[in-house]
Amino acid sequence: MDCPLFPFAPTHASRGSAHPAPRWPNPCSEPLTVNRDLCCLLLALCPLAVAVVLGGCRLTDAFVREAPPEEQGRPLECEKPNPAPSEDVAEPTPAQESEPSPPASARTDLPRGDIRESSRSVSVGGQTVAVTLLDVPLGSFTPKVGLAKDHVGATESLAGIARRLGAVAAINGSFFDAYSNRPVRTPYHNLVVEGRLVSLSDHPTTLGVWPDGTVAIGQVKFRLEGDSGHPDPWLRRWYAYGLNQYPERETCATFFDSHWALTRSPDHGLFIVVRNGHVTAKGHGPTDIPADGYVLYLRGGETQLDKRFEVGQQCSYRVVAESSDGLDWLSAKQALGCGPLLLRDDQPSVNPQAERFRDPKVLTGSHNRSALGLTADGHLLLVTTSSATIPALAQVMQTLGCRDAMNLDGGASSGLLLHDAYLTRPGRDISNALLVLAR
């Protein structure tokens, strides 16, 4: 029989893998045999059982409720599951109850003042690292994510992004596709702009900004899950593990909305167009990305999802956040991901392999670096350095007094700006930046 608590059954799919694994069985479809003693025990515990079932209904409803069509594309508040180990074939785990503390009002305990600029040399393991630093009091300034030309996959100078968005200071942001000849230069990390998730990643380290002024560095993995509206409950679930990212693999399920740098979806795949919460078109090849909806692009093994959609069906999706740091990432107003993590609670916490970094420039190389740090007393540090390894950078950030810190894109991307003047000049245009705006 149909299970009222599971309107569509979840599947095990690899996070970053193209091929979903077998579906979970419907827990309400298995026959149950009990003896007389067990029946008596269940009757005696009936009030407790009813309470548990009702509580379960509320939790499940919170996880699967849909946003109305006018809210499609905005992060939907839902229960956040605890993270599963980051493996090549790991499925996002089912939602579990968590109790974040959403911001209630603007914080008044953050320090105020002017941005302080400084340069110094820091000795790390017998090596001297030149450091350029901006110390930002978060009571007077707030961070904001700036996209190049306001779109995911575009590129622009750091000064151009900062000037266009009215920033007092700025530092380059996440790693991106800096070397290919593709028409867009995909960023490789989480990005949230004005409360809307516009890029997601398997690299979890992310700086978040909340409406009350809280700024924190944590680790989160976002994913997109949807309900196609198919009459068969086993065909209602859909997913996308790419968001506004140029497909780099033969098999992919990617979500494109108006934040993407191009106006049309890629070629050589299937598309499903959703506008105002309804499927309006299906087909092969590129198609226009609607301003009032999105395109689900399928290629390779993921084309099997196409049968779940029919023109005219209602269609919805939600954003799910997996994190163990206690932060309510679904309510973050801004977020910029990169990594690896450098410091956690005043101590070095460097494990790039666990964060799925594979590039030797991150694992072992010594290069010019950029980093973000937060102090215990409410200051944000924007830092660029001369050539350093990632472990050495962690020691630098610890020496500067950071409680938590994270790496950013470096090398030719490394750039730092104050009042429209470069303190560290990048060698190329970049994909995104962390800006500092006056409150």
Backbone phi, then psi, for 396, in 5-degree steps? -60, -50
Question: For residues 135 and 122, is the Cβ–Cβ distance under 8 A?
Answer: no
CA triplet 285, 291, 297: central angle to 5 degrees? 30
Q: Which amino acid is at 50?
A: V
Q: pTM value? A: 0.78
Return the number of other C-beta atoms located less than 10 Å from residue 85's C-beta.
7
Per-residue pLDDT band at 420 (split at 50, 70, 90): very high
Confidence of residue 2 (pLDDT cuts 50, 70, 90): very low
The C-alpha atoms of residue 308 and residue 306 are separated, in whole angstroms, by 5
Calpha distance 109→138 (Å, rounded): 10
Q: Determine the pLDDT at residue 107.
A: 74
Give me 202's structure tokens. 């398997």
Stretch among 6-10, 145-149, 263-267 having the lowest mean pLDDT: 6-10
- Whether 291 shows a pLDDT value over 90: the answer reads yes
Contact 425, 135 (CB under 8 A): no
**pLDDT top residue among 278 and 79:** 278
Helices 46-64 and 36-44, interaxial angle, to 10°? 70
Q: What is the dihedral of CA 190, 193, 195, 196, to 10 degrees?
A: -70
Q: Reduce the DSSP state of residue 214 to 3 states and report it.
A: coil
Predicted local confidence at residue 105, as pLDDT: 54
Closest CA to 215 of 136, 99, 100: 136
Query: Which DSSP string do the residues of 298-332 spell out, in sequence order?
Result: EEGGGGGGGGG--TT-B-EEEEEEE-SS---GGG-
Over residues 69-127, the pLDDT tens digits come to 444 544 333 333 333 333 333 333 333 333 444 444 567 788 899 999 999 999 998 89
pLDDT tens digits for range 302-357: 999 999 999 999 999 999 999 989 999 999 999 999 999 999 999 999 999 999 99
Calculate the CA 398 to chain-centre distance. 26
The torsion angles phi and psi of 117, rounded to 5 degrees, stand at: -100, 140
% of the chain surpassing 70 pLDDT: 76
Note the pLDDT of residue 106.
66
What does the radius of gyration of the chain's CA atoms come to, in whole angstroms? 23
Residue of 203, 207, 238 lying closest to 221 (CA atoms): 203
CA atoms within 13 A on the CB side of 351: 8
pLDDT tens track for 173-228: 999 999 999 989 999 999 999 999 999 999 999 999 999 999 999 999 999 999 99
Write out pLDDT tens, residues 350-399.
Answer: 999 999 999 999 999 999 999 999 999 999 999 999 999 999 999 999 99
